[in-house]
Amino acid sequence: MGTKSMNATFLPYSIPIIELIAVIFATVHFKKYAASNERYFLYFLWFTFLIDVTGTILNHFSIDNKLVYEVFTIGSFLFYFYWFNTILKNKTFKRIAKFSAIMFLGVTLIAYILPSYGGQGYAFVTGAICILLLTFLHLFQLLRGDEILVVKYKLSFWITTALLLFYVGIIPLILLSQYLNVEGASRTVIFISLNIILYGCYIIGFIWTKKKYNRF
């Protein structure tokens, strides 16, 4: 089997493998954050892993998995908006999280009703930009708080950092790929690399976090 053939065979399974590694760490270290709002991430990561396994299996048998991922994408954004709403203390920041969810749903609805408007790409970018805004708000909250010296032990810091790095990379990929001729294997490699960064930060967070700093 040639190198190109091996890469083509391995690439579809790489993201579920990365997710499985992350979810194992999340499960092993669950006691550290079981009393915090980050506890929901354990269930979310398991669900994400199962969705990607399902999508990979459907793709293997040449069954269209587009609907599965579209529904999951909507659900994952709403989960992030909910999580940020629970961890942001400032009332204005909380309102921004709620408004972000409403705006994302509105753009998503328009994308389904008027596909010519821009499709799900615009809805995804809208959600991604909102997530970026919320990551900045949470980091601002952490860096101005009393726990700035121990921020590396807070799981929310690592999750927020992971989301920040992932969406900073994915937004240009979605918006500019057609203009930069980034398609096929190149696009897949970039996407996998961003997922490695995302789940790598999650894993570091699960390892580094300490129970006493995950009180909410």
For 13-60, how does the pLDDT look when each residue is reduced to its tens digit (9 = 90+)? 889 999 999 999 999 999 999 999 999 999 999 999 999 999 989 988
Residue pair 157/202 in contact (Cβ under 8 Å)? The answer is no
C-alpha span between 34 and 140 (Å, rounded): 24
pTM confidence score: 0.90
Residue 174 is predicted with a pLDDT of 86
Residue 56's closest CA among 22, 10, 25?
10
Label residues 93-121 b or e (16+ Cβ within 10 Å = b): bbebbeebbeebbebbeebeeeeeeeebe
Residue keyed to tokens 């089997």: 1
**pLDDT for 106:** 95
At CA 192, angle to CA 171 and CA 73, rounded to 5?
55
Asked if 115 contacts 66 with a C-beta cutoff of 8 angstroms, the reply is no
pLDDT (0 to 100) of residue 118:
58
Residues of the chain with pLDDT under 70: 1-12, 116-119, 178, 180-185, 215-216
Q: Could you give the CA distance from residue 96 to residue 94 in angstroms, rounded to a whole number?
A: 5
Give the Cα separation of 130 and 71 in Å (integer): 18
Secondary structure (3-state) at 188? helix
Q: What is the pLDDT of residue 102?
A: 98
| C-alpha–C-alpha distance, residues 24 and 90, integer Å | 33
Q: Within 29-154, where are the H helices?
A: 40-60, 66-87, 91-113, 119-143
Type of residue numbered 216? F
